[in-house]
């Protein structure tokens, strides 16, 4: 069974400081991993994905994530947070050989404090 | 990426009435669309996979007679909430996948049943 865990419901960070939003996953095989961001009353926007290759993936708006197979993690990071980064972030996983749909974590609300 | 449009963005209806939500893929022919439901402060839960020209595939626990899905063309899928009740109030989001692995989402529809 596939599952995604985002251990933190809420992350607060000061503007200009680095941010990390944590994600761990469980799949039967090798995963496809994704990060999405959601602003209030809006759909999800794609940030980045890990498919294969370099474990460090760079995405939109200066975000990046590191795939760590041994720790089954895919934490989202940004070197310097902006107030406009405040939103709800979802990690998602899809099994390469499994169903066609994505499984989402419960989401982490990021608040960047001016 | 693919552009996905949902309509309406929000709707309020009386208990017992039916509501139709449209999901359009504006620049991509989508043989498959996905419908999700999101409760406040919770993650997205896949409701069903909409297949063009055939019956939708529903997730376990989702009532197919209550949530009618029609995918009559490669650019349009509709979700009809029949005989809506207050417990159906939620945020409904559709998505498509554009060949590559990430999904693209509509802006969502907030349904409130009074």
pLDDT mean over B95-106 = 78
Confidence of residue B48 (pLDDT cuts 50, 70, 90): very high
Tens digit of each residue's pLDDT (9 = 90 or more) over A14-31: 999 999 999 999 887 778
pLDDT at A50: 92
| Section B63-92 average pLDDT | 94
Q: Is B60 on the interface with A (CB under 8 A)?
A: no
Structural domains in chain A, sorted by start: 3-113 (2.60.40.10)
B66 within 8 A of B83, measured Cβ to Cβ = yes
* pLDDT tens readout for residues A28-48: 777 889 999 998 878 889 999
Name the residue in chain A with its Cα closest to that of B3: A45
- Whole-number mean pLDDT of chain B? 90
- Chain B residues whose CB is inside 8 A of the A104 CB are 43-44
Among residues 8-37 of chain A, which lie with CB inside 8 Å of chain B? 32, 34, 36
Rounded Cα–Cα distance for residues A93 and B66 (Å): 28
A104–B44 C-beta distance less than 8 A = yes
Q: How many residues does chain A have?
A: 114
For residue B47, give the chain A residue with the closest CA. Answer: A101
A88 Cβ partners below 8 Å, 6+ apart?
A37, A38, A39, A107, A108, A109, A110
Report the pLDDT averaged over residues B48-75.
91
Å from B16 to nearest chain A CA? 25
Q: Does the pLDDT value for residue B89 go beyond 90?
A: yes
Which DSSP string do the residues of B78-95 spell out, in sequence order? EEEE-S--GGG-EEEEEE
Span A84-111, average pLDDT: 85
CA-based torsion, A8, B87, B9, B103: positive or negative? positive
């Amino acid at each position: 069974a596939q599952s995604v865990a985002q251990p933190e419901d809420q992350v607060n960070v000061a503007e200009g400081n680095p941010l990390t939003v944590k994600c761990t996953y469980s799949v039967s095989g090798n995963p496809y991993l994704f990060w999405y961001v959601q602003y209030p009353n809006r759909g999800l926007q794609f940030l980045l994905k890990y498919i294969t290759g370099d474990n460090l993936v760079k995405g939109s708006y200066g975000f990046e994530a590191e795939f760590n197979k041994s720790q089954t993690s895919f934490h989202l990071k940004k070197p310097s947070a902006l107030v406009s980064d405040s939103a709800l972030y979802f990690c998602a996983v899809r099994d390469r050989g499994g169903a066609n749909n994505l499984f989402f974590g419960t989401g982490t609300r990021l608040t960047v404090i001016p | 990426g693919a552009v996905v449009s949902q309509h309406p963005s929000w709707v309020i209806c009386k208990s017992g009435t039916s509501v139709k939500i449209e999901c359009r893929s504006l620049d991509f022919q989508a043989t498959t669309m996905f419908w999700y439901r999101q409760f406040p402060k919770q993650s997205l839960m896949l409701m069903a996979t909409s297949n063009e020209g055939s019956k939708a595939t529903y997730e376990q626990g989702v009532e197919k007679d209550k949530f009618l899905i029609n995918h009559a063309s490669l650019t349009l899928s509709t979700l009809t909430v029949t005989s809506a009740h207050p417990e159906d109030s939620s945020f409904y989001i559709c998505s498509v996948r554009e060949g590559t692995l990430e999904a693209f989402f509509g802006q969502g529809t907030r349904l409130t049943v009074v």
